[in-house]
Structure 1
Amino acid sequence: MTVISSSIPRRAGTATSLTRRMSGLGKLAVIGAVVLVSACGLPRSGPNKKEIYAGSVDRGGNTHVIYVNDHVARTANFSPAYGFSSDFRNASTVGADEIRAGDVLGLSIWENVDDGLLASMGTSSTALTELQVDSQGYIFVPYAGRVRAAGNTPDQLRQLITQRLETQTPDPQVMVTRMAGDGATVSVMGKVNAQGVYPIERPTRTLSAMLSKSGGVAIEPEIAVVTVKRGNSSGKVWLKDLYTNPRNDIALRPGDVVLVEEDQRSFTALGALGGQTKVPLGNEQINAVEALAMVGGLSTALADPTGVFILRDEPQGVARAVLGSNAIQGTQRMAYVLDLTKPNGLFLARDFMIRDGDTVYVTEAPFVQWQKTIGSITGTAAQVGTIDSALGG
C-alpha cells in the first residue's frame, strides 16, 4: 500500500510538466502562424504600390506605369468628342409641305368642256379622294397615269397632273390637297417633356427647333446628350454644344429619330477612399481632384497619398504621345500615378482629366498594414492567453 501511494504524486508531477510544455509549444506555434498569416493573408482593399509596379512593362508585365507630370497631363487629356458627321451637317432642309409616301391626297379637276374626260354628264368638275401615295412615291390619276407625288409640293404635283391632262382635255384646272398624313415626320424620344411624332414644319426644320417643339429636355442641360438616328447612321452631341455651335443644329430629315438621354459615362472608384462605387461623370469633363471629391476624398485612416492610380486602356495615338514612341502598336494598358504629397501634386491632379471607363484606385498606406499585423498578433496573443488559462498554465 505504501509503495502505491508514494508513486501517485510522481505521476501527477510528470503530467503537470507535460501540460506546461505543451502550453508553451502551443503559444509558439500560434504566434508563428499569426506572423505567417499577417505577412500574406491580412484583409485589405486591393494591391499595394509594390504589387502594381511589379506588373509594369519595365518588369516584364503588360501595364505601363507612368508618373504624371505636366507633359503627361497635357498629352493624356484626350476625350472622344461628340458631334455630327458631314453627312448630317450638309443635309439640306426639308420643305415643310413636301409630299411623302403614305400621305393621302385629294384631287379636284375642272374641265372646260361639257363632256369631259373625267366629269360626269352635266358637271364640269371631278373629285378624286383617298389617293394614297404608294411606297414608291406614286399615285394613279385617270388619263394621267402614274404620277410621282413624293418629293413634290402640292403645287408642283398640281402642275405635273395639269401637264399630263392638258393634252387630252382643254385647259384643265387641278387642285391638290393633303387629306391625311403629316408629310415629313420626326420621332422625339427620351428625356423630353413631350415625347411624340412631330411633323417637319417651317418652324421646326432644325434639331433645336424640334426639341423646343417637344417641350424641351427634362433633365439638367449640362448632362443631356442628344442622339439623332438616320437610317443606319447616327450622331450625338452635347445639348450645350447644340446651342453654342450652329453647325451642330442640323437640318432634320423625314424618319429621323431624336433621342435625349442622360450622359451614360462613368468611372469606378476603388481602394482607400471615402466610398467605393461606380460614379457617373456628371459633366462633360471632370479632373482627378473632382473625381476624388465625388466619392468622399481619400480615407484619412487608410490612404497613401503617394499612391493614387488612374487605370485605363489608352488608344494607340495617345499611348504613343505619352510614351514618346511610335513603335507602340494597339491599345495599351496604362496606370497613371499621382503623388499628392509633391509640391505640385494637387495641381497635376487638377489638370489630369478623368475619362469614361477609368478606374480611380488609391493604395493603403504601409503603416496601415503594419497596424493590421500588430493588431492580429496582439489579438491572437490574447486568445492564446485564454487558451493557456483553460489548460491550467
Structure 2
Amino acid sequence: MGFKIIDIAPDNIDALSTTQNQAGALAALAADGNIDLIGPGDVLAIEIYEVGVTLFGGRANIGVAGTMLENDLSMSASSETVGGSGVVVDRNGNISLPYAGTLSVAGLTTSQVQDRIVAALRGKSQSPQVIVSLRRNISNAVVVMGDVTNPGRMPLTLARERLLDAIAERGGMNRMVQTGSSTATGTGAQDVIVRFTRRGRVAEQALDSIVAGSVDDLVLLSGDRIELIRQPRTFTVFGALDRVAQVPFESRTLTLAEALARAGGPNDNRADPKAVFIFRMVPATDLMAQGIPASTTDIAYPVAYRINMMEAENYFLSQRFTMRDKDLIYIGNASANQPLKLVQALGQLFAPVLSVQNATR
C-alpha cells in the first residue's frame, strides 16, 4: 500500500496545520439572468380598460357627477378583469383572450405582454389600456429542500434574493440539525453542506463558510435548486483509552490536542504516550507540500502521523496539528502493561474460585 509513518515535528507542522478551505466552490456557478420573465404555469391578472363602446364589461362615467359634456355627449370608460381567478400560461407559453385570440407570452415581461394585448385589441376596441400583473409566480422560483425547516418552492422577486436569503425564508436549518440526535449527528452549520444545482451544474460547500453578500452567496435565478445536507465530520479513537468512540468535531476546526481531550485522553495505566498515531489518507499533493516524494499525484497514500507526548514541545505541536474528517487516532499500549494484562487475566480466571471459597468459609 505504500504505507508511510511520519513524525510530527517543528519542520512539518506548518503543512499539517492548514485547513481545507472550501470557500469559492459555489462562486463558480455565478451567472446573470432575468427573474421577471413569464413562463408556463404562471398565472396572470389582466385588467383591460376601454373608452366609449366597449368589448368588456359595463360603462362607468368619468367626470363630475350629474354634469353633461359639450354636445350632450358623455365621455365613458369601463374596465374588466379577464378571468376571475387569473389567466394561466399553458405549457406552450400561450394565453387565450377574448377578441385577442391566442398570444405567445413565454419569455416576456408583464409590460411586454401588456403591449402585445393592446396591439391585438387595436381596431377592435376604442383606445384599450391593459395592466398585467403576476398573480402566481411559478416559473421564476427556486426549490429549497433537504434539512431545512420548511422545504418547498420559493418565488423570486425583483429584490433579487440570494442563497442565504432563501435558506432563511424557508426557516433555516431544521431543529434536528441544530441539536443533533446522537453524538455523531452534528450540532450546527459546520456540519451542513449546501448542494447547489444550476443549469445542470452542481457544486457543494459548507454552510458556515458562506458569508452573506460574498461571491459564494449567489444571486438566485429561476430553476435553481438548493439542498441542505447534514454531513457531520467525525474522528475515531482506538487503543489504550477508556472506550473506543466516534467523536463529532462540533466546530469548524479541531486540533489534535482538542481531539484527544474530547475523546477522554489516554488511559494512565495502559497507554504509551510515546505512541500516539493519526491515520489518514493523504493526497499526493499534500505529501509533496510536506517535502515527501510521491510516485504519482493522482492518488492518496495511507499515512500514520506519529507524535511523542513524552516531549513537552510536542504538546505545542498538538495544538497546531489540524484534524480532518474521518481521521483515526490510535494510542498504543505500553510494553510494561503486558505483565499487568497477564495478572488481570489470571485474576479473572481465579476470581470465581476465590469467591466460592470465601462464601464457604
Closer/same/farther in 2, CA of residues 190 and 119 from structure 1, 3 Å limit = closer
Change (3 A) 1:353 1:146: farther
Q: 1:67 Cα shift? A: 0.8
1: distance between equivalents of 2:87 and 2:281?
Answer: 58
Equivalent positions of 1:274-313 (< 5 A) are 274-313=242-281
Q: What TM-score results when the alignment is normalised by the length of structure 1?
A: 0.68
How many residues in Structure 1 have an aligned counterpart in Structure 2?
Answer: 320
Superposed, which structure 2 residues align to 1:214-293 within 5 Å? 214-217=170-173, 218=175, 219=178, 221=188, 223=190, 225-231=192-198, 232-243=200-211, 246-293=214-261
Matches of 2:328 and 2:313 in 1, distance apart? 22
Shift of 1:306: 1.0
Residues 236-266 of structure 1 show CA distances to partners (whole Å, capped at 9, x for unaligned) of 4444433366222211222333334544221
Shift of 1:280: 1.6
Residues 165/196 of structure 1: CA separation in 2 closer, same or farther (3 Å cut): same
CA drift of 1:84 comes to: 3.5
Q: 1:249 to 1:86 in 2, by over 3 A?
A: closer
Structure number, greater radius of gyration:
1
1:308 to 1:252, Cα distance in 2 relative to 1, 3 A: same
Q: Secondary structure at the match of 1:162?
A: helix
Question: When you count helix as a share of all residues, which structure comes out higher?
Answer: 1
Percent identity of the aligned residues? 26
- Label 1:325 to 1:143 Cα distance change in 2 as closer, same or farther (>3 A): farther
Distance in 2, matches of 1:263 and 1:283, equals: 13
Do the aligned partners of residues 200 and 226 (structure 1) sit closer, same or farther apart at CA in structure 2, a change above 3 Å counting? Answer: farther
The residue matched to 1:354 in structure 2 has which SS? Answer: coil
Match for 1:350: what amino acid?
Q
Q: CA deviation at 1:318?
A: 0.8
- 5+ residue gaps, structure 2, are 60-76, 179-186, 355-361
For residues 282-318 of structure 1, give each alpha carbon's deviation from its aligned partner in whole angstroms, at most 9, with x where no partner exists. 1111011111111101111111111111111111211
Report deviation, 1:183. 5.2
Distance 1:86 1:191 in 2: 22
Cα-Cα RMSD: 3.6
Letter in 1 for 2:9: N
Say which is worse superposed, 367-376 or 306-315, in terms of deviation: 367-376
Superposition deviation, residue 210 in structure 1: 2.5
Distance 1:282 1:135, change over 3 A: farther
Structure with bigger strand share is: 2
1:162 corresponds, among 115, 118, 131, to 118
- 1:105 has 2:44 as partner: yes
Q: CA deviation at 1:81?
A: 1.7
Rounded to whole Å, the distance in 1 between the matches of 2:102 and 2:319 is: 68
Q: Does 1:79 align with 2:36?
A: no
Q: Provide the rounded CA distance (Å) in 2 between the counterparts of 1:283 and 1:354.
A: 11
Residue 318 in structure 1 maps to residue 286 in structure 2: yes
Question: Which residue is equivalent to 2:87?
Answer: 131
Gaps of 5+ in 1: 1-60, 387-393
TM-score normalised over the length of structure 2: 0.73
1:359-370 matches, cutoff 5 A:
359-370=328-339
What are the Cα deviations for residues 60-81 of structure 1, in whole angstroms up to 9, with x where unaligned? x631111111343322335252
CA contact (8 A) 2:149 2:170 kept: yes
